[in-house]
Amino acid sequence: MPEPHSLHPRHVRSRTEHGVLVLTITEPQLLGDTLVHALRQELLAVVARPGTHKVVLDLQPVKVLSSEAFRPLLSLRRTVQERGGQLVLCNLAPTVAKVLHDTRLITTSRSSTATFEVQADVAAAVASLTDTAGEQ
């Protein structure tokens, strides 16, 4: 059963599924420094909790993002990795996937290493992280 978290961020919803923190960005357009800065602060505050190692970032509501929006995504990735964790993106709209692919933050090639791992949906992303749970 998903467990809701007590923070009241404006741009991110969070819950836990099978021991994996699932963050959903609620904004349809990630544009502008003010929004991007607030989003970064919210994401980092949520993953600052002890024991947060496996994180899924659900981008389903996001239809448009600017290059400014890379900052919170990259900050989240760095923070999670510094703690020995893993981050997986999922539910990418075609326009979002294209931007991330064109900037080589994600890839469709299995032989290439990209900045972000991507799965089709939350269930696949959670499964990809729980399948490797024994490795830590």
52-66 residue pLDDT tens: 899 999 999 999 999
Burial classification of residue 48, based on how many CB atoms lie within 10 Å of its CB (0-12 exposed, 13-18 middle, 19 or more buried): exposed
63-93 residue pLDDT tens: 999 999 999 999 999 999 999 999 999 999 9
Q: Which domains does the chain have, with CATH numbers?
A: 3-130 (3.30.750.24)
Place of tokens 């294209």: 98
